[in-house]
Amino acid sequence: MKKIVLPLDKNCAEQLKAGDSVLISGEILTARDCAHKRLTEMIARGEELPFPIEGAIIYYAGPCPAKPGMASGSCGPTTSSRMDVYAPQLLDLGLGGMIGKGEMSDEVRQAIVRNKGVYFAAIGGAGATYGKAITKSTLLAFPDLLSEAVRKLEVRDFPCVVAYDCHGGSIY
């Protein structure tokens, strides 16, 4: 199994092929429905985003609260297609890629190819496994959104499969 250490550079993204099983380590950001809506509204207003988007990897996820002594609660992926309307714009602004589950739109696939990005599928339903692979979690923005807030996560050996690669390949 391929090990990937973030940040992901374009050369590394080019070597990934749809269907590859990978273990991801490094820093990722959580954002899902409500956070994406706010991020795109901030972009429309010309405001600075709460994190540098260049090369960032967004994880479509909203964790359970952390138990005492743990960095995070269970934290598997949510259905990515709900973010179809937001992803192309973020990729065009420099987003390195996404982690989620399930197929996304053709527009997202084209934006991945255009920007040499990547879309990883995490295993939906394996929340406990992903929660345990998070070594640090920091609240970055929108605390009122509770589990939907934007968090910076340090992850170690996150099991994923390359779903869309930057050459147009798809596992689906």
Partner 1 sequence: MRTLDTKEIADRIYAMALKAGVTLTPSCRAALRQARDTETEGAAAFALDTLIANAELAESENLPVCQDTGMAVVMLEIGQDVYLTGELLDDAVNGAVRRAYADGYFRKSVCDPITRNNTGDNTPAVIHTHICAGDKVEITYLPKGFGSENMSAMYMLKPAQGVEGIISAIVQTVKNAGSRPCPPVFVGVGIGGSFDTCAYLAKKALTRDVGTHSDRADIAEIEKQALERINALGIGCQGFHGRTTALGVNCEWAYTHIAGLPVAVNIQCHCIRCERATI
Q: Which is nearer to partner 1, 53 or 123 (CB)?
A: 123
Token pair for residue 94? Answer: 């420099």
Rg (Cα) of the chain, in Å, rounded? 15
Total Cβ atoms within 10 A of residue 50: 17
DSSP state of 84: T
Q: Which is nearer to partner 1, 54 or 139 (CB)?
A: 139
Distance CA 143, CA 48 (A): 17
Token pair for residue 109? Answer: 């696939």
Q: Which is nearer to partner 1, 132 or 152 (CB)?
A: 132
Helix (H) or strand (E) holding 37: helix 33-44
Q: Does 17 bind partner 1 (CB under 8 A)?
A: no
Q: Which is nearer to partner 1, 33 or 107 (CB)?
A: 33
Q: Does 34 bind partner 1 (CB under 8 A)?
A: yes
Count of chain residues binding partner 1 (CB under 8 A): 40
Could you tell me the smallest distance in angstroms from the CB atom of residue 89 to partner 1? 21
Q: Which is nearer to partner 1, 19 or 94 (CB)?
A: 19
Residue 142 region by backbone torsions, left for phi larger than 0, else alpha for psi between -120 and 50, else beta: left
Distance CA 14, CA 118 (A): 9
- List the interface residues with partner 1, window 83-142 (CB under 8 A): 101-103, 121, 123-132
Q: Are 38 and 92 in contact (CB under 8 A)?
A: no
Q: x/- binding map, residues 49-78, to partner 1, per CB under 8 A?
A: ------------xxxxxxx-----xxxx-x
Q: Which of residues 15, 143, 157, 172 is near partner 1 by CB under 8 A?
A: 172
Start-to-end CA span in the chain (Å): 20
Could you tell me the smallest distance in angstroms from the CB atom of residue 149 to partner 1? 11
Contacting positions for partner 1 (CB under 8 A):
19, 21, 33-34, 61-67, 73-76, 78-79, 81, 101-103, 121, 123-132, 145-148, 159, 161, 171-172
